[in-house]
Structure 1
Amino acid sequence: MSDLYPVSYVAAGTYLPASPPTEALACESLVSMALVGAVVGGSAAAAHNALRVKRDEIQFAEAMRRTGRTAIASAAATVVAGAAANAVAKEGVLRLSLMFGVGAAVLYGMNRWVEEEAHD
């Protein structure tokens, strides 16, 4: 990142570059995670829905709607899973396991909610 955060030098009164605040890094990290989740989830949904359109199971507009909904849900699940994993472990198998479990649970809950809304 090219932004400099001025920190006064002890005697000379000049400014040196410093690291950005940790809140800014955390926010950037979550936004990056959301973007990756949306791309991965959206890509998988697009491939699946393209096949369904080719088989005449759904229309193109429905495929686009489902792909967009899946991309948004994947972004949300990735952010929640990443935040939870970051609170517990910084690296390793525990972090990946936690991200997988929380992400799957969030997507499961979102899918159940959508299904219940569709039946009401």
Structure 2
Amino acid sequence: MKYLLFVPLLLFAMLSGCSTSASFKLPPDTDLMIKGERVVFESEKDEKGNPILKTTPFFWDVAADINYSLVQKDKVVKQGQIPAQFRIISIFWPPYAFVYWPFGFRLNCNDLTKDFVEECLPQKNN
């Protein structure tokens, strides 16, 4: 019986160690670039309709924060930093996650429409 519980938990740990994800609220007609690379969003959206980005975790160079740019018609209109956080799972993910992929997004939803990156606020029902 313990074996039946252990296998799904092990599988979950393996899958959760492979990626980090967050959703983003972007200004109209802008593209997101993270660490100098243009982001391609999957068709998946969160409950607020914001696109979700799933990517590999980040290296130690984002220990402070993750650099981003908003691009409109191939011109950078805004630059800043998305909060990062250490991923506890990387300690247990063999063999090298602690060394190579220890960081992920701190916020589940990043609002990039404001001057500073904030957690997306719940939508108000009228």
Whether TM exceeds 0.5 here: the answer is no
Structure scoring higher RCO (CA < 8 A, sep ≥ 6) equals: 2
Higher-Rg member (1/2)? 1
Task: Name whichever structure is richer in strand by fraction.
Answer: 2
Higher helix share: 1
